[in-house]
């Protein structure tokens, strides 16, 4: 029938062959693509995934698409996936099932699966949902627009998942960072921002931002028995020190005042850079410029003819760009640079708050604690994953520390940083966990008194060591009982910590209206605690279910990004209540 286009279930092309097709009994008239296409991103998992979703959205914005309010309005639906726990897999396939009919029948509707599960499962995703248009992994989010066009033109699924190199490639890393450094040098000379290829920094943000994520490293070099992250995000790769400072400066100039540094193990940031610099004996042997690079270079100190080394001064500048001034002038030992990074970001005037997630207890070094304590913009907040209070379980998990080490390092942080809020991650039901092991966890958690915790039920993930411990899996009823008992301890300490804030005046960074009750505003303290507040009260009620009314004569209506003083009036385990003063 003329004008009717049947969208078939698509399979990837193999060796140039035509894609396999599935018969569809219904058809839908193509409406063309004259209107602006809209996209919707659904995110599963951690803050790293949330940030990757921001990158995907910004790439599509730059390509002319606009965001949709909900999934039903979207022409492109992106699922940015997590594979840390099995329930994330199940949620994805449930959402995919809801899109099956439209995915098969609408030739202009596209479905994308990105992220960790895509990195792991690849073509297997198409066996369960052959109407997926694009599958892309964790290492090529910037390719989203090109891959969507390729799928649209071919009406076949496109799978592009880049494998991570098992061995580090110093040459490639230094080649990329040298080019970024040269752009940065030219930008400083001209007063312009020439380094524009950071996906942390949108060219045309749709709304003003007061808070932003910055990815400082990708991947993980640890080998925890329960974790699949090294398989789906690869080994640790740190972003050049100077690149991060350039990015934060640009964000500060755009109005951002709060930065959250992201990485799988942030306090090992930069170790790979300093190891590489020591391995090749400094930058001398890698600063060979190509003819193209040299033609673009504007300063004689920056130029290097093919086969010729840069000047000594330029080599030092380049090393500072890679590893920071402190390391170049004082250390030059293979070591992490996270403490130096905190101090350097702390010197950027317009950045009022710096947060980070997540550190690893085995890598919480004294210099990091000292930098946190001495840098005013670094918030009094530490998320330090414990996972278990049993040394036997921690050893089986391959965590690299025991309960005593964890306590000692946490105590050092609490002594150095006044009013520190501490949160954690805990796993219940790890294979082989005995009742004695669990009681050790209960006792340690009670002794520490966390401000809050994420409690996870062990989920075996294919490809991890723990998944092979099936003979030691814990009965589900036992796990449920342990989860309830551990949660009760956490709730008790969380409430006690929050009650201790009552009658104190806290600086709040306003996030906007409460999602649960629009008569309240929400914001967060420096410790990361959520506060519901109103400018003025007319009643004595103090719950979200029975909200307080605004006084119409309030002199200030808070807006997102404001820093306000709020007196805390009451507390619950997961949030505080307060009133603007």
**Are the CB atoms for 338 and 364 separated by under 8 Å?**
no
Spell out the CATH class of 4-160. alpha beta
CB atoms within 10 A of CB 123: 13
Separation of alpha carbons 253 and 540, rounded Å? 42
Q: Give the residue carrying structure tokens 């905190």.
A: 342
What was the pLDDT predicted at 516?
85
Q: What confidence score (pLDDT) does residue 173 get?
A: 64
Element (H, E) at 431: none
The pLDDT of residue 138 is 80
pLDDT tens digits, the chain, 581 residues: what are they? 333 333 455 544 444 444 444 443 333 334 445 578 999 999 887 777 888 888 899 899 999 999 999 999 999 999 998 877 666 677 888 889 999 999 888 988 999 999 888 888 887 899 989 999 999 988 788 899 999 999 999 889 999 887 655 455 566 666 666 666 776 666 555 555 433 344 444 444 444 589 999 999 988 899 899 988 887 778 888 999 999 999 999 999 999 999 999 998 999 999 999 988 887 765 455 544 443 444 444 444 444 433 344 566 677 888 899 999 999 998 788 999 999 999 999 999 999 999 999 899 999 999 999 999 999 999 999 999 999 999 999 999 999 999 999 999 999 999 999 999 999 999 999 999 999 999 999 999 999 999 999 999 998 988 899 999 999 999 999 999 999 999 999 999 999 999 999 999 999 999 999 888 888 999 999 999 999 998 754 444 444 444 444 443 445 688 999 999 999 999 999 999 999 98
Least Cα distance to 524 among 536, 512, 541 occurs for: 512
Cβ-based neighbour number of residue 173 at 10 Å: 18
Burial letters 235-267, b for 16+ CB under 10 A, else e? ebbbbbbbbbbbbbbbbbeeebbbbbbbbbbbb
Peptide bond into 358 cis (omega under 30): yes
Inter-residue contact 426 to 388 (CB < 8 Å)? yes
Helix (H) or strand (E) holding 535: none
**What span, in angstroms and rounded, lies between the C-alpha atoms of 137 and 377?**
34
Q: Which residues of 327-349 are buried (b: 16+ CB within 10 A; e: fewer)?
A: bbeeeeeebbbbbbbbbbbbebe
Question: Could you count the other beta carbons within 10 Å of the beta carbon of residue 316?
Answer: 16
Give the whole-angstrom CA distance, residue 327 versus residue 335: 9
CATH architecture of the region 166-379: 2-Layer Sandwich (3.30)
Which residue matches tokens 């990837």? Answer: 12
Instruction: Compute CA distances 335 → 271, 367, 370, whole Å.
Output: 5, 11, 16
Q: Cα–Cα distance between 416 and 365 in angstroms, integer?
A: 13
Query: DSSP of 241-282, one letter per residue?
Result: HHHHHHHHHHHHHTT--EEEEE-TTGGGTTHHHHHHHHHTTS
- How far are the Cα atoms of 177, 249, 483, 580 from residue 326, in angstroms, in the given order? 19, 19, 45, 42
> Three-state SS for 126?
helix
Residue 168's pLDDT is 52
Question: Domain segments of the chain: what residues?
Answer: 4-160, 166-379, 384-500, 505-580
What local confidence, expressed as pLDDT, does residue 116 receive?
Answer: 84
Reduce the DSSP state of residue 210 to 3 states and report it: coil
CA dihedral sign, ordered 533, 537, 540, 541:
negative
In what helix (H) or strand (E) does residue 5 lie, and over which residues does it extend?
strand 4-5
CATH of domain 505-580: 2.40.50
Q: Which two tokens stand for residue 292?
A: 């193209």
Task: Name the fold adopted by 384-500.
Answer: Transcription Regulator spoIIAA (3.30.750)
Name the one residue in this structure whose structure tokens are 């599958």.
135
* Interatomic CA distance for residues 526 and 530, integer angstroms: 10
Q: Do domains 4-160 and 505-580 have the same CATH topology?
A: no
Whole-number Cα distances in Å, 261 to 9, 341, 532 = 41, 10, 25
DSSP code per residue over 129-198: -TT--EEE-SS-GGGHHHHHHHHHHHTS-EEE-PPPPSS--HHHHHHHHHHHHHHHHHHHHHTS------
pTM, rounded to two decimals: 0.78
Coil, strand or helix at 334: coil
Angle between the N-to-C axes of helices 366-374 and 403-416, in degrees from 0 to 180, rounded to the nearest 10:
20
Query: Which pLDDT belongs to residue 549?
Result: 42
């Amino acid at each position: 029938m003329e004008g009717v286009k049947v969208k078939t279930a698509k399979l990837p092309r193999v060796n140039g062959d035509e894609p396999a097709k599935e018969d569809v009994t219904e058809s839908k008239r193509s409406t063309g693509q004259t209107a602006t296409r809209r996209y919707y991103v659904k995110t599963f998992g951690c803050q790293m995934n949330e940030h990757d979703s921001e990158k995907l959205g910004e790439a599509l914005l730059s390509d002319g698409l606009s965001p949709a309010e909900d999934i039903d309005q979207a022409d492109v639906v992106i699922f940015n996936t997590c594979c840390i726990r099995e329930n994330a897999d199940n949620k994805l396939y449930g959402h995919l099932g809801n899109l099956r009919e439209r995915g098969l029948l609408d030739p202009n509707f596209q479905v994308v699966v990105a992220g960790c599960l895509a990195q792991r499962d690849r073509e297997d995703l198409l066996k369960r949902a052959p109407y997926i248009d694009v599958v892309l992994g964790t290492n090529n989010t910037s390719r989203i627009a090109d891959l969507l066009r390729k799928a649209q033109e071919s009406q076949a699924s496109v799978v592009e998942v880049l494998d991570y190199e098992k061995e580090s490639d110093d040459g490639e890393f230094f080649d990329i960072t040298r080019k970024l450094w040269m752009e940065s040098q030219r930008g400083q000379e001209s007063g312009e921002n020439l380094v524009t290829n950071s996906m942390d920094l949108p060219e045309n943000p749709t709304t003003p931002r007061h808070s932003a994520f910055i990815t400082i490293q990708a991947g993980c070099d640890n080998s925890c028995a329960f974790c699949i992250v090294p398989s789906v995000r690869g080994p640790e790769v740190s972003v050049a020190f100077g690149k991060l400072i350039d990015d934060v400066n640009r964000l500060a100039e755009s109005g951002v005042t709060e930065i959250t540094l992201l990485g799988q193990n942030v306090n090992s940031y930069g170790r790979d850079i300093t190891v590489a610099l020591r391995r090749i004996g400094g930058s001398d042997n890698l600063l060979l410029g190509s003819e193209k690079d040299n033609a673009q270079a504007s300063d004689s100190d920056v130029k290097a003819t093919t086969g010729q080394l840069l000047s000594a001064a330029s080599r030092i500048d380049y090393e500072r760009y890679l590893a920071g001034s402190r390391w170049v002038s004082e250390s030059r030992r293979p070591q992490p640079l996270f403490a130096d990074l905190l101090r350097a970001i702390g010197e950027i005037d317009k950045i009022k708050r710096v947060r980070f997630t997540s550190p690893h207890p085995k890598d919480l070094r004294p210099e990091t604690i000292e930098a946190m304590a001495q840098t005013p913009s670094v918030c009094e907040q530490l998320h330090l994953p414990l996972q278990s209070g049993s040394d036997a379980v921690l050893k089986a998990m391959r965590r690299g520390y025991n309960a005593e080490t964890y306590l000692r390092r946490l105590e050092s942080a609490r002594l150095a940083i006044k009013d520190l809020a501490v949160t954690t991650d805990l796993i219940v039901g790890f294979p082989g966990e005995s009742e004695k092991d669990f009681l050790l966890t209960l006792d340690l958690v009670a002794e520490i008194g966390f401000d809050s915790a994420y409690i996870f039920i062990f989920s075996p993930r294919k490809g991890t060591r723990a998944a092979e411990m099936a003979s030691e899996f814990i009965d589900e009823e036992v796990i449920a009982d342990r989860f309830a008992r551990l949660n009760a301890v956490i709730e008790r300490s969380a409430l006690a910590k929050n009650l201790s804030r009552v009658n104190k005046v806290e600086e709040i960074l306003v996030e906007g209206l409460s999602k649960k009750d629009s008569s309240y505003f929400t914001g967060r303290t420096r410790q990361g605690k959520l506060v519901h507040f109103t400018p003025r009260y007319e009643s004595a009620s103090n719950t979200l279910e029975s909200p307080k009314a605004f006084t119409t004569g309030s002199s200030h209506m808070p807006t997102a990004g404001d820093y306000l003083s709020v007196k805390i009036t009451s507390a619950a385990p997961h949030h505080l209540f307060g009133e603007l003063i």
